[in-house]
Amino acid sequence: MSADPSARRGIPDATVARLPEYLRALTGLAERGITSVSSEELAAAAGVRSAKLRKDLSYLGSYGVRGVGYEVDHLAYQISRELGLTQDWPVAIVGMGNLGHALAAYSGFATRGFRVVALLDQDPAIVGQEIAGLAVQPMSELTALVSEQGLAIGVIATPAASAQDVCDALVAAGVRSILNFAPCVLVVPDGVDVRKVDLSTELQILAFHEQRKALASPAALRKAVAP
């Protein structure tokens, strides 16, 4: 078992978070017909330093050739495999408001590896509507979706007020990976992963830096800050 180069236990979180970006860069290169790439070039395409890229890739194994670089297709496959994208992950989106609606139709969602198998909503007035080719189902279908479709990932696109209830329902049905768009913290049992995407948080972080810049530069002629 120690001979398997991918048997590496414990890839750093920071590295895992960058692998999708590397994969995207590799896909772009492949589409342009490029078959081989150096760490310097790939790092530039992914927006990181080459040393960081090489160290990241070294956690996966030795897939490069010294003096030459990396074979694009092979490296892309290895990253895909490490990320678990060689199998299909059934995804359900809960909450068919503005955001859920857009997510259901968002093409980037259906990239390799993921398949939206169900749309759900608590509101009986919305259940039954067809969105992006799928009929909206009631929350009671969750358990069946997990056992019959192998549903593994849930996306919460509800208002904050109902997000915890929806989350509890997902967990109860057996979903252990959740992507949360609602602006609130979710409490989940051990073994369940939650990642949060929050537009308003990102804007506030930008505002902090923008304010810092406005105060530092003499061009603070806009909406002058109160003294």
Partner DNA sequence: ACGCGGTTGTGAACCGATGCACAAAGTCAC
Partner DNA sequence: GTGACTTTGTGCATCGGTTCACAACCGCGT
The answer on whether 191 is annotated among ligand-binding residues is no
Q: Which does 73 bind (CB under 5 to 8 A by kind): DNA, a second copy, none?
A: none
Min CB(212)–DNA separation in Å: 15
The DSSP annotation for 137-164 comes to: E-GGGHHHHHHHH---EEEE-S-HHHHH
**Residue 93 in contact with a second copy, rule: CB under 8 A:** no
Q: Which does 32 bind (CB under 5 to 8 A by kind): DNA, a second copy, none?
A: none
**Number of other residues whose CB lies within 10 A of the CB of residue 7:** 9
Min CB(90)–a second copy separation in Å: 9
Min CB(160)–DNA separation in Å: 23
Q: Strand order of the sheet with strand 177-180?
A: 130-131, 134-137, 114-120, 89-94, 153-156, 177-180, 193-196
**Residue 200 in contact with a second copy, rule: CB under 8 A:** yes
**Residue 207 in contact with a second copy, rule: CB under 8 A:** yes
All residues at 6 or more sequence positions from 189 whose CB lies less than 8 Å from its CB, including other chains = 171
**Residue 32 in contact with a second copy, rule: CB under 8 A:** no
**Residue 148 in contact with a second copy, rule: CB under 8 A:** no
